[in-house]
A and B are shown apart, each in its own frame.
Chain A
Amino acid sequence: MRTLAAPSPAQLMVHADLALRSALAAVAGTEPSRLGRAAAGAAYLDLWAGDRLLRADGGNHSAVARFLLPRLLMESVDTLSVLLGERAQRNTGPGAAYREHARWLHQAMWHPDHRARLDAVTARLGGPPTGEDRLARPLTSVRPAALPLDLHALLDALERERRAVVGACALAPERDSAGNWALADRYALLTAAAACLDGWRGAGRGRRITSDRDRLVAALSRIAIRLGLEPVGPDTELSGALFGEAVAHCRRPTAPARTAPARTAPVGARRLVGA
C-alpha cells in the first residue's frame, strides 16, 4: 500500500485550526458545558503553543515541532469531541469536517516516519545544549519577584526540569535507548515552553497583558502536566477560562487557514474560515 507523505508541522496546524473552527461552528448559538468550554480552550492553547514553537524553532524545519506537534495537537483536537457531544458523530456538516481533520492528525501521529522524527531530536542530545539551542539558557530572564505568583511557581518547576534535562544531556546517554527517547520528549516539551515564554515577553507589554498572562499560564500548565509536573491548577478551569479567546481566534481568518492546501481543507471547512 502506498504511504502518504507525512504532513508538515504547518499542515498539522491547519488541521488543528480547522478542527477547532469546525467544532465551534457546530455549537454556535448553544451554551457549551463546562467541559466543552475547557476542551475548546485547551485546543486553542495547544494551537497557540504550536504556533509559538514554529515561530521560534525554525518553522517546518524544526525537528522538535515535527516530533512534538502530532501528539500535542491530536490530544487536544480529540478532546474537542466533548464540546461537540452528539454532533461529533454526524456524517455531514461541521461534525464530519471536525472528524476528518482529527483523523489527519492521527495519521501524522502514527506515520511511518515517526522513528525518523524521534531520531532528529535525539541527535541533539549528545551533549549539553549550547549556542543557539534555546535550552542552553534559562527559560526566562525575568526576575522571579517580577512575576505573578502562579507563573513564578510554574517557571520554577519548569526551570528545574530544564536543568535536569541539560544535566542528562551532559551524560551523553546512548543515543538509541528508551531513556534517550524519554529525554527527547522532555527536551521537546521544554523547547515548546521556552517558545511560549519568549513570545509572551514580546507581546506582554501594553494591551491585554492580563489575558496574555492567563493564556501563557494555562499553556505552560498543560506542558507541565505532560512533563509530569504539578500544574498551576485544574486544567479544565485554566483552559475553560480561555474559551472566549478560542471563539475570538476562530472569528479571525488565520494565515495558515487561508493557505490551507485544497485537499486537506474540505469545502465546508474552508467556508467556515472564510478561505
Chain B
Amino acid sequence: MTAPAVTYLRADGPGGAWTEAAGPALRAGTSVVLYASAGSWSVPDGPGLRALLGREYERYRAAGHRPAARARFAASRRLVKHAAAAVLDVPADDLELARGPAGRPYLRGCDRLGLSLSHTGDLLVLALSLHGAIGADVEALGRSGCRALLAQRACTASELANLRVLPPPERGDAMLRLWTLKEAYTKALGVGTALPFHTFGFRVEGTAAVLHDDNGEPVRPGEWTFTTHRLGTGHVVSTASARPPGP
C-alpha cells in the first residue's frame, strides 16, 4: 500500500524554511503537517496578542486560571495564523479564526484552507490542506495507551483482536496509533468525541491506515486517506483527509 502524500515540517517559530516549503507543498496537492514546541510560539499578553487573537481574546482571558493552557492557546493561534499567512501571502493579524457550531475551526473567509490543531505536552501540531477536510491528532509514544478499559471502550472487536496478537510491549504504541487515527477522523468530520470511537475502526499498514466499519469490513476505498507517522520527537501524529468525489 502506498502512503498518501503528507509533508511534515518542523516549524519552531515564525520565519524559517518551513514558510517557504508549506505553500508549494499544499498547492502541489499534499497535506502539510507542521509541528513545533509551544514555547517557540509563545507570545506575552498585551496589545500584540490582542490584535493577533481578535475575537478569540476573550476566550484566552477566560482561561486565566490555567496559565499553561492560556499560553498554549495563544501559541497555537499564533502558529495557525502565521502558517495560514505564509500559505495565503497575507498578514497574520488580518486572519480570523472562527468555529462552526460543532467546534470545527476555520479561517473566516479563507475556509478553503482546511486546518486541524492538536497538542500534547509542549508539542503543537497543525495539519493543513487545500483539497479537502483534514483532521490531525498527536500523542507521545510510550504513553500507557493500551489500558484494557480504554481499548474496550474505543476499539472495535476487530481492532481488539489485532491488538491481542501483538507482543505486549508493542500494544501500547499500536493502541496510540488507533487512538490518534480515530481522533483525526472525528476532527475532520467536525464532530470530536460526539461520535463514539467503537463505531468505526482502522487497520494500520505501515504509515497508512484503512477505515473499517464496526464489523471489520473496509469502508469504500477512495473516500478518505489516513496516515500515521512517527515524528523524531517521540510522538505519533495521524491525519485524516477527505477525498471529494472525482469525475
A137 within 8 A of B: no
**Which residues from chain A contact B98 at a C-beta distance below 8 Å?**
185, 226-228
Nearest opposing residue in chain A for B222, CB measure: A103
B206 within 8 A of A: no
B96 within 8 A of A: yes
In residues 80-112 of chain B, which contact A (Cβ within 8 Å)?
A: 85, 88, 90-91, 94-96, 98-102, 104, 106, 108-112
A162 within 8 A of B: no
Alpha-carbon distance between A75 and B102 when the two chains are bound, in angstroms? 8
Alpha-carbon distance between A118 and B211 when the two chains are bound, in angstroms? 34
Q: Across the interface, do B194 and A182 meet the contact criterion of CB distance under 8 Å?
A: no
Interface residues on B, range: 35 or more
A139 within 8 A of B: no
Interface residues of B (CB under 8 A from A): 55-56, 85, 88, 90-91, 94-96, 98-102, 104, 106, 108-112, 114, 130-133, 189-191, 194-196, 199-200, 211-214, 217, 219-220, 223, 242, 244-247
Selected contact of A179 from candidates B88, B94, B99, B132, CB within 8 Å: B94
Alpha-carbon distance between A98 and B54 when the two chains are bound, in angstroms? 37
Q: How many Å from the CB of B86 to the closest CB on chain A? A: 12
Can you give 20 A-B contacts (C-beta < 8 A)? A39-B194, A42-B101, A71-B100, A71-B106, A76-B101, A78-B102, A78-B133, A78-B190, A86-B213, A88-B199, A89-B199, A91-B219, A103-B223, A106-B132, A110-B131, A179-B94, A186-B108, A226-B101, A227-B98, A228-B98
Answer whether A35 and B111 are a contact pair too, CB < 8 Å, given A3-B247, A89-B211.
no
A262 within 8 A of B: no
Proximity string of chain A (89-124) to chain B, C-beta cutoff 8 Å, 1 when within and 0 when not: 111000010011001101101100011001000000
Q: Across the interface, do A82 and B223 meet the contact criterion of CB distance under 8 Å?
A: no
Nearest opposing residue in chain A for B88, CB measure: A178
Q: Across the interface, do A110 and B244 meet the contact criterion of CB distance under 8 Å?
A: yes
Selected contact of A88 from candidates B101, B102, B200, CB within 8 Å: B200
Q: Across the interface, do A103 and B244 meet the contact criterion of CB distance under 8 Å?
A: yes
Q: Across the interface, do A81 and B191 meet the contact criterion of CB distance under 8 Å?
A: yes
**Which residues from chain A contact B212 at a C-beta distance below 8 Å?**
89
Answer whether A79 and B190 are a contact pair too, CB < 8 Å, given A90-B213, A222-B101.
yes
Q: Across the interface, do B213 and A107 meet the contact criterion of CB distance under 8 Å?
A: no
Answer whether A75 and B100 are a contact pair too, CB < 8 Å, given A89-B200, A91-B217, A186-B108.
yes
Answer whether A106 and B133 are a contact pair too, CB < 8 Å, given A88-B199, A89-B211, A179-B94.
yes
Proximity string of chain A (38-77) to chain B, C-beta cutoff 8 Å, 1 when within and 0 when not: 0100100000000000000000000000000001001110
Q: How many Å from the CB of B133 to the closest CB on chain A? A: 6
Alpha-carbon distance between A53 and B189 when the two chains are bound, in angstroms? 25
A1 within 8 A of B: yes
Q: How many Å from the CB of A79 to the closest CB on chain B? A: 5
**Which residues from chain A contact B214 at a C-beta distance below 8 Å?**
86, 89
A172 within 8 A of B: no
Selected contact of B245 from candidates A74, A103, A225, A231, CB within 8 Å: A103
Q: How many Å from the CB of B189 to the closest CB on chain A? A: 5
A184 within 8 A of B: yes
Q: Across the interface, do A177 and B94 meet the contact criterion of CB distance under 8 Å?
A: yes
Closest 9 CB pairs of A and B: A181-B109, A178-B94, A107-B244, A89-B213, A86-B199, A178-B90, A182-B108, A86-B214, A185-B109
Alpha-carbon distance between A96 and B212 when the two chains are bound, in angstroms? 13
A4 within 8 A of B: yes
| Extra inter-chain contacts (9) besides given A106-B242, A227-B98, CB under 8 Å | A78-B133, A79-B194, A82-B194, A89-B219, A110-B131, A178-B96, A182-B108, A228-B55, A235-B101
Q: Across the interface, do B245 and A107 meet the contact criterion of CB distance under 8 Å?
A: yes
Q: How many Å from the CB of B113 to the closest CB on chain A? A: 10
**Which residues from chain B contact A99 at a C-beta distance below 8 Å?**
220, 223
Q: Across the interface, do A182 and B95 meet the contact criterion of CB distance under 8 Å?
A: yes
